[in-house]
Amino acid sequence: MRTIEQPPEITMSTAAFSEIKLQVTGMTCASCVMRVEKSLKAVPGVQQASVNLATEQASVSADSGVTADTLTAAVRKAGYEVATTETTLQVEGMTCASCVARVEKALLKVPGVEGAMVNLATEKASIRALSTVPVTALKAAIEKAGYSAKDLQETKPQPAARLPAWWPVALSGALTLPLVLPMLLQLFGIEWMLDGWVQLALATPVQFWLGGRFYRAGWKAALAKTGNMDLLVALGTSAAYGLSVYLLFEHAAHGMPHLYFEASAAVITLVLLGKWLEQRAKRQTADAIRALNALRPTTARVRRGDREVDLPVEHVVVGDLVVVRPGDRVAVDGDIVEGRSHIDESLITGESLPVAKGVGDKVTGGAINAEGALTVRTTAIGAETTLARIIRMVESAQAAKAPIQRIVDRVSAVFVPVVLGIALLTFLGWVASPVTGNRRSSTPWPCWSSPVPVRSAWPRPRPSWPARGWPRATAS
């Protein structure tokens, strides 16, 4: 959703300086230009500032540390305003909280971006930026971070899948169960173990077919010179799988060695389970929001003079008289000026019984009129209706982060390199040690840490509760 489109205006002049263009409103004469230029040049780090009265644009050359917020504050301090826009993009490829932090960080680095908020549940990025920031610059920043970005208009509904979404989890679990069963049987004193070649046959499709998504996501993260939980899963399980294959071939003629196929397969199965639960919660949340959007009427019967005409809801203005017939949904928020009836407002209140309404009472767009005809004077339309504000607030609440989640994001940013660094140091210590050690000493670090993504992939309560509560409230 883009309210104002501007041609590309932001260019990087050198590695140390950047050029930012601002759309300044409120200037009327040459003295206004001088006042804005003086205010901008007073900002620390600004090298040059020039203002064009005809185009109402200010071109600023400044250090890379100078942000759009700082320049905007300087213009406002001079008594003028800077035009900003809200842009919403569909982001594909995010898998965990660290992906969200990476996308937000990449967007905030774009000159002219004042704020960025990414919602993992809806896979949307809301960017507040100067009106001169082109959408192409925002998309390029997201793609440079290793993800893909599209306009909301470009997104198309996915075709129905032939197989249920849980089939990878079920198949992975079926292949993993024989591998972990010997450990469970040991609790009852039963010693049994599959042949090593059978273990290899069971673990290989789990590792490279069902777990292929982690290799693809991890490779994208590596290309972006960063790390995420998918990369850690791929490295950890590959270490356990690769060591098992090496030991199997090395000791094939001397009996079966201790293998780790069950560890790699179990980790992948558990993470796939978490991913599936997360996708289900996201899908339920998106379906609930779409269900609320579907409650918005598309047309309204408006009284114009002595006749009534059906108009698109977008053409209704505040003050119009809207006629609501029995059984129709109320098209707009407003006050009743004629008629009496009962209104089903369960979509807002959750109350199943219709509420009696008369002249002077307020009605909410999307509610259902029962038996009587009503005439409503419009008080709110479009994005200002109660239903639209509720949807917008819920989406904003999902995108907002609790303090503990911000701590998790910071930990995720350093978790992968720390774990890989410990594993590398352990391996180098084994190599440098004069005493022959166990070559498996460095494998446990990435393998033990791999179950951590299960927690990251587990569905959060916040995206889940709207999907549980709204269908009850909207069933009417």
As a whole number, mean pLDDT of residues 357-376 equals 89
31/75 same-domain check: yes
As a whole number, mean pLDDT of residues 255-260 equals 78
317/353 same-domain check: yes
Per-residue model confidence (pLDDT) at position 405: 61
Give the torsion through C-alpha atoms of 28, 30, 36, 40, to 10 deg: 150
Distance CA 395, CA 295 (A): 17
Token output for 343: 């209104």
Please write the tens of the pLDDT for every residue from 382-395: 888 888 888 777 77
CATH code of 125's domain: 3.30.70.100
As a whole number, mean pLDDT of residues 295-307 equals 85
Q: Could you give the C-alpha distances from 283 to 123, 286, 289, 339, 404, in angstroms and in order?
A: 11, 5, 10, 41, 24
Token output for 211: 């777990």
Higher pLDDT among residues 95 and 263, named by residue: 263
Of 56-70, 192-206, 370-384, give the lowest mean pLDDT range: 56-70
Distance of CA 372 to the CA centre of its chain: 44
Per-residue model confidence (pLDDT) at position 9: 43
Greatest alpha-carbon pair distance for the chain in Å reads: 100
Tell if the pTM clears 0.75, that is, is over it.
Answer: no
How many structural domains does the chain have? 4
Q: Is residue 308 part of a domain?
A: yes
Please check the confidence at residue 105 and state whether its pLDDT lies above 80: yes
131/26 same-domain check: no
Q: Is residue 2 part of a domain?
A: no
Please write the tens of the pLDDT for every residue from 417-475: 777 788 778 778 777 766 555 555 555 555 555 544 444 444 444 444 444 445 444 44
**Where residue 1 falls among pLDDT bands split at 50, 70, 90?**
very low
As a whole number, mean pLDDT of residues 343-370 equals 86
Q: Give me the domain span that covers residue 109.
A: 87-151
174/279 same-domain check: yes
137/100 same-domain check: yes
270/195 same-domain check: yes
259/186 same-domain check: yes
Per-residue model confidence (pLDDT) at position 223: 76
476 with 367: CB under 8 angstroms? no
63/128 same-domain check: no
302 beta partners: 309, 322
Please check the confidence at residue 130 and state whether its pLDDT lies above 60: yes
Q: Is residue 176 part of a domain?
A: yes
Of 99-113, 247-261, 442-456, give the lowest mean pLDDT range: 442-456
326 with 368: CB under 8 angstroms? no
Average pLDDT of the chain? 78
Please check the confidence at residue 205 and state whether its pLDDT lies above 90: yes
As a whole number, mean pLDDT of residues 302-326 equals 88
287/179 same-domain check: yes
Of 81-85, 138-142, 220-224, give the lowest mean pLDDT range: 220-224
62/113 same-domain check: no
142/248 same-domain check: no
Per-residue model confidence (pLDDT) at position 111: 81
